[in-house]
Structure 1
Amino acid sequence: MSATDINEKGTNMHVFVTGASGWIGSATVDELLTAGHRVTGLARSDTSAAAVQAKGAEVLRGDLDDLEALRRGADAADGVVHLANKHDFAHPEVSDAAERAAVETLGEALVGSGRPLVVASGVARLAGDRAATEADPNPAVGPHSMRGGGENRALDFVDQGVRTVIARFAPTVHGSGDSGFVSLITEAARRHGAAAIIGEGSNGWAAVHRTDAARLVRLGLEGAPAGTRMHVTAEDAVPTRDIARAIGDALGVPVTTIEPADAVDHFGFVGPFYAMEMAATSTATRDLLGWQPTGPTLLEDIAAGAYTAARS
């Protein structure tokens, strides 16, 4: 199957998007609308609803705990992109339970239809100390595992006539306005007056620019085969020591080294993630969908002030 064949199968769809006003979701809504799709975005607040409407998308009010709203959104759509997540790092069991319930609700609504369900996941903890590939299974199984085992639960629906596609995102989906991990690491450097490297800083983080991520989500929705695991990663492994040095240069602060045991004290909850190996390749994804990233690299974004200029 060629990329052309895949892309031609997904035109003029009505797409239900959860997380439609979020960092990745808002870019995905733009991408889908530009490609000619109709979009309905889940919105939990007046502010989110206004942001979704301003883009030209329709709004369905609700949140991840409103399973009836999720069901209605999926029932009315030709395909679903599930990007929302509570990200309650203080109470992960809450996020995990909500994620599993949402995936099950969306999947059940699509059973027997052949319609696509794109579910967000990540590359963390897939392959230990090497770069993860699309062939690596996700070890998170069951409702009490990471993200509620949502990736594997979503794939269960393939045998029930759902075209499940997993989007495994890099730990940093970067760009100007990002408030994720790199923003938190930058704020720690600002707070301490030094950009810290944990240990040798040899562990690598996969990275992808926000616009490239949104384009790949669209391509997967439009025609990736059922059971596909896409790696939304443009750079396989940016060494965390290079990230720290780039942040130090951008802020004009020195670079220091801290011990892994001090990571939480220095960075907060993001410390253990910053110390993890989260490298991942996307070779199979690119070959399948003809996706080629075109956005700036993570270090280019940092150097351009994506994480520092607005706060200077």
Structure 2
Amino acid sequence: MHVFVTGASGWVGRGLVPELTAGGHKVTGLARSDTAARSLRAMGAEARPGSLDDLDVLRDAAASCDGVVHLAFKHDMFFAGDVAAATDADRAAINAFGETLAGTGKPFVMASGMLGVLGLPPGAVATERDGLTPDTAADTGPISGASGRMTNARHALTLAGHGVRSSIVRLPPATHGRGDNGFTTTAISFARQKGAAAYIGDGSNRWPAVHRDDAARLFRLAIESAPAGSVLHAVADEGVPIRTVAEAFAAQLRVPAVSVTTQQAGDYVGWLGGLWGIDGPASARITRDLLGWQPIQPGLIDDLQQGHYFT
């Protein structure tokens, strides 16, 4: 297949492009800078200059390829507080792809966050069937802005009714590995600055996790064979207690692991404070049964213990 990938030079994209090429696929990646284009060519992919705002570029690329993996999202804008603009840009890109791919049967695989389904009742394990209707806890939970992304993901699934083999892959907040610059790296940075690795209360709340390379393999399986309308969970560790994570940070940084209150969390983990106390285990059983996906890379704690996050 010839696959067009947005976000191809980003964190997950840098795992997906080699995964696709090793599987015999040709890859063209959207490149919004010369640096991104050089990175793509170094990985054996072609570069298509443009950004998510260049809708004609997206349409043309989708028309000329056999399938699309949509990883890009304006995270910088989103976390700067312009949530509506970031989600609107994403919706416009999804529409551009959907209009072009309609009636072709070609695959469209979209990355989605899992934070929106971490607002379920305490103890509930999120499955691929959660978050599919707008009246769920996913849209009224504690994650500001998550509902917009969830709405866009549900919209992408509706493309299945228009002759597109659409699917979404939900990524956990801890999508980890060497070179990660996401939530895990941010939490480590706060612990280093504070001189303490914090958890809230008894730290028994859990986060799901996956190694970036295992997630990349799931995206390849999705573009190759996921049925239309599939919701997939890229989850290897169903739920890692945040206390265990903080203790792993502490051991590597040689600082204490400390319990803090919800009110104190911002002093220790900055803007992550609103997320650090969430209990959000998630299952990937349906995904594994559907596509035969089995994670083989180190789990989150094993990855942290390798030390590369702390050098």
| TM-score using structure 2 length | 0.92
Task: Spell out, residue by residue over 1:213-257, the C-alpha distance to the aligned partner (whole angstroms, 9 max, x if none).
Answer: 100100011011001111000110001111001110111110111
Is residue 89 of structure 1 aligned with residue 79 of structure 2?
Answer: yes
| Aligned mates of 1:180, 1:262 — CA distance in 2 | 22
Is residue 120 of structure 1 aligned with residue 111 of structure 2?
Answer: yes
- Could you list the runs of 5+ residues in structure 2 that have no partner in the other structure? 140-144
Partner residue of 2:15? Answer: 27
Give 1:70 shift.
Answer: 1.2
Kept in 2, the 8 Å contact 1:96–1:145? The answer is no
Where 1:36 maps in the other structure, the secondary structure is coil
Is residue 228 of structure 1 aligned with residue 216 of structure 2?
Answer: no
Structure 1 stretch displaced more, 66-75 or 291-300: 66-75
| TM-score using structure 1 length | 0.91
RMSD: 1.7
Where 2:110 maps in the other structure, the secondary structure is strand
Is residue 68 of structure 1 aligned with residue 62 of structure 2?
Answer: no
| Aligned mates of 1:68, 1:145 — CA distance in 2 | 27
Kept in 2, the 8 Å contact 1:171–1:278? The answer is no
Is residue 133 of structure 1 aligned with residue 133 of structure 2?
Answer: no
Give 1:206 shift.
Answer: 0.6
Give 1:121 shift.
Answer: 0.8
What is the letter of the counterpart of residue 70 of structure 2? H
Give 1:139 shift.
Answer: 4.9
Kept in 1, the 8 Å contact 2:176–2:300? The answer is yes
Where 1:260 maps in the other structure, the secondary structure is coil
| Aligned mates of 1:206, 1:199 — CA distance in 2 | 19
Aligned to 1:286, which of 281, 285, 288? Answer: 288
Aligned to 2:244, which of 237, 242, 245? Answer: 242
What is the letter of the counterpart of residue 253 of structure 2? L
Aligned to 2:279, which of 277, 280, 291? Answer: 277
Where 1:218 maps in the other structure, the secondary structure is helix
Give 1:75 shift.
Answer: 1.1
Where 2:220 maps in the other structure, the secondary structure is helix
| Aligned mates of 1:51, 1:128 — CA distance in 2 | 42
Where 2:116 maps in the other structure, the secondary structure is coil
Question: What are the equivalent positions in structure 2 for 1:192-211 lying under 5 Å apart?
Answer: 192-211=194-213
Kept in 2, the 8 Å contact 1:15–1:77? The answer is yes
The 4+ residue runs of structure 1 with deviation greater than 4 A are 139-144
| Aligned mates of 2:64, 2:265 — CA distance in 1 | 46
| Aligned mates of 1:287, 1:108 — CA distance in 2 | 31
| Aligned mates of 1:299, 1:193 — CA distance in 2 | 20
Give 1:145 shift.
Answer: 3.6
Aligned to 1:104, which of 77, 84, 95? Answer: 95
| Aligned mates of 1:105, 1:269 — CA distance in 2 | 33
| Aligned mates of 2:270, 2:32 — CA distance in 1 | 28
Question: What are the equivalent positions in structure 2 for 1:155-166 lying under 5 Å apart?
Answer: 155-166=157-168
Where 2:68 maps in the other structure, the secondary structure is strand
What is the letter of the counterpart of residue 73 of structure 2? N
Aligned pairs, how many?
A: 297
Partner residue of 1:3? Answer: none
- Kindly tell me: are residues 292 and 145 of structure 1, through their superposed partners in 2, closer, same or farther at Cα, counting changes over 3 Å? closer
Where 2:12 maps in the other structure, the secondary structure is helix
What is the letter of the counterpart of residue 6 of structure 2? T
Partner residue of 2:28? Answer: 40
Where 2:298 maps in the other structure, the secondary structure is coil
